[in-house]
């Protein structure tokens, strides 16, 4: 295993850049053991983060949330440059299917109404250009779009979530530049996990942070249930046609390339 820094050597602030539907909630249960709750930012979503007083935000040692690169804009420059980042990625096709499932189950999400109108059908969702755009390349957007959350905080509420903000910013972003920035963020990350190798990733995370971890990796699923049946709505790749899978690949071309990079980095750093 890599001889990465132990908690005593990790200089705050530290940021778990949580990408939605990558098993990040489970990952975070292990990471949290390394940081006192009183020094942990309580916000997990952009609206919650932007609702905190500015002096309070820069006073935390540990951040965990769906903030993308926007968190850096809320920190003093020296603090942002010193920020230690780690993250977790997932196969882009599987992640997007899981994202659609989550939108169907959870009324609070940006696409809930649109996905429910299509009965949670993945193929039907992908035929809508706006839904497809909202879902596309979300991991690359999270790691590659330097959102100016500081400016949004000055403008004041209501605040939108990361998926809406990145979808808007991606409309005018150069795709090659976006992927290049996401790759730079990956290179900067002190630790990268993969959902498909979750147990290994958790063991590495625990070793890197210097926290104890024995037995199987924790599993957490914070998603709600299907509002119609009261049971989980959990379509998987096996439930979809080849045509739909190809469409999922088409809208995630940047994510597919980024995931390959993440897998190579994972292997290289684990072998170091």
Q: Tell me how far the alpha carbon of residue 201 is from its chain's centroid.
A: 15
- Per-residue model confidence as pLDDT tens digits over 129-150: 999 999 999 999 999 999 999 9
Higher pLDDT, 230 or 58: 58
3-state secondary structure of 271: helix
Question: How far apart (Å, rounded) are the C-alpha atoms in residues 74 and 80?
Answer: 8
How far, in Å, are 24, 61, 170 from residue 37 at the CA level? 18, 10, 34
pLDDT over 50 at 6, yes or no: no
Angle between helix axes 242-250 and 253-271 (nearest 10 degrees) is 80
Lowest mean pLDDT among 2-16, 52-66, 243-257: 2-16
Give percent above pLDDT 90 in the chain.
82
Give the pLDDT band (50/70/90) at residue 44. Answer: very high
Q: Residue 103 corresponds to which tokens in the numbers above?
A: 């939108």
Q: Tell me how far the alpha carbon of residue 255 is from its chain's centroid.
A: 12
How far, in Å, are 5, 16, 71, 162 from residue 59 at the CA level? 22, 16, 13, 22
In this prediction, residue 213 carries a pLDDT of: 77
Q: Which residues are registered as beta bridge partners of 14? A: 62, 84
Q: Which residues are registered as beta bridge partners of 86? A: 16, 191
Q: For residue 208, how many other CB atoms are within 10 A of its CB?
A: 23
The 3-class SS string of 162-180 reads HHHHHHHHHCCCCHHHHHH
Averaged pLDDT for residues 9-38 = 92
209 Cβ contact list (under 8 Å, min separation 6): 6, 7, 10, 30, 31, 33, 34
Averaged pLDDT for residues 17-32 = 93
Q: Tell me how far the alpha carbon of residue 76 is from its chain's centroid.
A: 23
pLDDT over 80 at 195, yes or no: yes
In this prediction, residue 272 carries a pLDDT of: 76
In this prediction, residue 228 carries a pLDDT of: 47
Give the pLDDT band (50/70/90) at residue 212. Answer: confident
Q: Residue 228 corresponds to which tokens in the numbers above?
A: 């119609």
- Per-residue model confidence as pLDDT tens digits over 79-119: 999 999 999 999 999 999 999 999 999 998 999 999 999 99
Average pLDDT, whole number, for the chain? 90
- Per-residue model confidence as pLDDT tens digits over 225-272: 444 444 556 788 999 999 999 999 999 999 999 999 999 999 999 887
3-state secondary structure of 42: coil
DSSP string covering 126-140, please?
Answer: HTSHHHHHHHTTHHH
């Amino acid at each position: 295993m890599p001889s990465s820094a132990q908690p005593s050597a990790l200089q705050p602030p530290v940021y778990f850049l949580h990408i939605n539907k990558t098993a990040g909630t489970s990952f975070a249960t292990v990471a949290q053991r390394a940081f006192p709750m009183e020094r942990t930012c309580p916000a997990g979503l952009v609206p919650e983060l932007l609702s905190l007083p500015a002096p309070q935000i820069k006073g935390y040692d540990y951040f965990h949330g769906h903030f993308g690169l926007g968190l850096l804009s809320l920190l003093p420059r020296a603090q942002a440059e010193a920020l230690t980042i780690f993250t977790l990625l997932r196969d882009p096709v599987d992640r997007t299917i899981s994202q659609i499932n989550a939108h169907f189950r959870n009324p609070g999400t940006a696409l809930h109404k649109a996905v429910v109108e299509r009965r949670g059908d993945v193929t039907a969702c992908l035929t809508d250009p706006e839904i497809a755009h909202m879902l596309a390349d979300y991991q690359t957007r999270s790691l590659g779009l330097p959102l100016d959350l500081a400016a949004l905080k000055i403008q004041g509420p209501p605040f939108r979530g990361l998926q809406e903000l990145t979808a808007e910013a991606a409309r005018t972003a150069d795709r090659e530049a976006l992927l290049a920035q996401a790759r730079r963020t990956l290179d900067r990350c002190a630790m990268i996990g993969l959902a498909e190798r979750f147990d290994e990733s958790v063991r590495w995370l625990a070793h890197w942070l210097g926290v104890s971890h024995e037995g199987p990796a924790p599993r957490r699923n914070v998603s709600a249930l299907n509002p119609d049946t009261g049971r989980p709505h959990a379509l998987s790749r096996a439930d979809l046609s080849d045509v739909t899978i190809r469409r999922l690949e088409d809208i995630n071309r940047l994510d597919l390339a980024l995931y390959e990079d993440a897998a190579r980095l994972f292997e290289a750093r684990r072998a170091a």
